[in-house]
Each structure stands twice: as C-alpha cells, then as structure tokens.
Amino acid sequence: MFVYRFVASIGSILDISLIDILLAHLALFFASIIYTISGFGLGLISIPILINIFETKTVVILINFTTIYLALLIIRNTKEVIERKEITPVLIFGILGVPFGVLLIASIDVEPLKVSVLLAIIVISIIGFIQIGNGQPASKYFRYPASFITTILITTLGLGTPLLVIVLNKTGLKKNILRKYLAIFGLSVQLFALIGYVFASLISFELFVLLVSVFPTIFIGFKVGNKINLRLNNIIFERFIYMFILISSLIMLIDILYI
C-alpha cells in the first residue's frame, strides 16, 4: 500500500500516469541489470520506452544519473584493481574526443554517418564472436584511439560504446576488469555532463523527485545483475557482450533504414 501511494504521489508531482511511472521504473530495472552484467547498454534498453513517457531532456538526464549511480556501485563492488597508469590515458583520450565531437556535430549533418558506424560495429562484433577463445590479445595501446573515437561517436551520434567494449575485450581485459574500465569511463564522462546540467539549471524540482525515486529500482537491478554476473565465466561473458552488441546494432540499423 505504501509503495502504491509513493508511486502515485510521484506520478502526481510529475503530472504523468501511474502506468507510465511503473513502465519507466521497469525499463530502468531491466536496463540496470544489463548494464551491471556488461558495463554498457543502459540507453539501448531503456530509451525506447522512456522517450515515449518523458521529454528528451528528461530522458538524457535520467540516463546520466542512472549511469553515474550504477558505475559507482560497480566500482565499489568489483574487487579487481585497475592501475592508475592503465586507466588514466584511456580517460584522457576520451575527454580529448569531446570537443572534436562537439565541433563535428556543429559543422556537418552527422545522421548519415550512423549507418556506416553501425555496419562497422556489426562486422567487428561478428568477427569478435567468431574469434572468442582464439588468437593473441591485441596491443593495449589500441585502447587509447578507441577511447578517443568512442567519445566522438557518443557526442555526435549518441552511440559508440560497443566499439570501446570490443577493443577492450580484444586487448585482453577479463570480465570484471572490463566492466570496471567501462564504469570508470562512463562515470568520468557523465560526471562532466551532470555538472553541465546543474550549471545550466536543467534539473527542476520535478526531475529531482524522479531521480530520487529511481534509486531503489536501480539498486535492485544492480543486485540482480551482479548475481547473474557472478555465474558467468569469461567465455560466456564474451559471447553475451558480442551477441548483445550485434542484436542491438541490428535493431538500431533497421530502425534507421526502415522505420
């Protein structure tokens, strides 16, 4: 009864129906599970539902907040240690990509590039899936340009993380280290974005209430995802991320070309 009243009161504050509030929480719950398992995919799972409930600005900030919270949970609960000298260059190259992405999106029509990028990701993911368990790891120095390109793609096209996931995997990072890498990368980028949202006065009282209300949902999703992750060995984990990248990229490609 308390939960019903709580959810209903949030719906009243946000001026949306109880069903929409429940759908939003359900979308974030499943997206949190996938993100906790793989280290990415939060927007791919939740945005198709959230965008039909909230305005785009609210969805972007909601994803931003959820990413920060989940990244902190993953970093805190992952025992494997990442050396600072390993992750720092990846973060620096990622941050350096931001102004290039902003310049690109301000200068040209980037929408036609989406198809080419998605096709490239699909081909790379198929090759990666076929090579699971075979071959020598690629040089770790591939992580730096991949981080740079990923940030450019994210800031211009809203996609690109799968590319970084594939490169990190091919350079020999195991399951939990890869997840922690992605969590630190996502946390760094999204914190910069959150600071920008605050200074731009984009977080209203209603949005703040929504952000606070999703805390328990995200946490439960993390707990479920973490339990599933503990049961996955590295081979199964690699199969999961490649299949997820392949399927989600195909869906996005079909959506762009035919819908």
Per-residue confidence in pLDDT tens, the chain, 259 aa: 545 555 555 555 566 778 888 899 999 999 999 999 988 888 888 888 888 888 878 888 898 899 999 999 999 998 888 888 888 999 999 888 888 877 776 677 766 777 888 888 888 888 888 877 666 677 888 899 999 998 888 777 767 788 888 888 888 888 889 899 999 988 888 887 788 788 878 888 888 888 888 999 999 999 999 999 988 888 888 888 889 888 888 888 887 787 6
Report which of 125, 136, 130, 193 is spatially closest to residue 165, judged by C-alpha positions: 125
Torsion from C-alpha of 186, 191, 196, 198, nearest 10 degrees: 130
Whether residue 121 contacts residue 70, with contact meaning beta carbons closer than 8 Å, is answered with no
Report which of 94, 32, 65, 52 is spatially closest to residue 202, judged by C-alpha positions: 65
The domain limits of the chain are: 2-258
Q: What is the pLDDT of residue 36?
A: 94
Tokens, residue 197: 């949202």
Query: What is the C-alpha separation between 45 and 126, in angstroms, rounded?
Result: 21
Helix, strand, or coil here: 200?
A: coil
Category of 172 on φ-ψ map: left (φ > 0), alpha (ψ -120 to 50) or beta: left
